[in-house]
Amino acid sequence: MSRRADFIAANRGLRAPMPGFVLLVRNREDGNSAMRLGITVTKKIGGAVVRNRMKRRFRALARDILPTAGFEGADHILIGRAGGVERDFAQLSAELSKALAKLRR
């Protein structure tokens, strides 16, 4: 996702804060069953190298977990938090699975 309006609309959806990130999920209700991913990492997190590393990690997480545990026809937004860069990848993966399970309830 790249349109600002999509990110703002997702802010009105479901929210699951975790130590390394915040997950937002919003059902688009447009009849399309495709899952979309948006990633946001602000300059408060660090410089360009740090932000890009975090975005790469989020994309890898999404590739592994969203196809099986994500919501069909929904926008998934990952917002990076300060502690997310230092966190172990397995720990981030467990947190994303936990966040999706929490929102599914």
pLDDT in tens, 29-83: 888 889 999 999 999 999 999 999 999 999 999 999 999 999 999 999 999 999 8
CATH code of residue 95: 3.30.230.10
Q: pTM value?
A: 0.91
pLDDT of residue 33: 87
Task: Give the number of domains in the chain.
Answer: 1
pLDDT of residue 30: 85
CA distances (Å), 33 to each of 14, 36, 96, in order?
A: 18, 10, 21
The residue length of the chain stands at: 105
Backbone φ, ψ for residue 32 (5° rounding): -95, 130
Domain that holds residue 17: 4-104
pLDDT of residue 77: 96
For residue 2, pLDDT beyond 90: no
Measure the CA–CA gap between 32 and 74, rounded to whole angstroms: 9
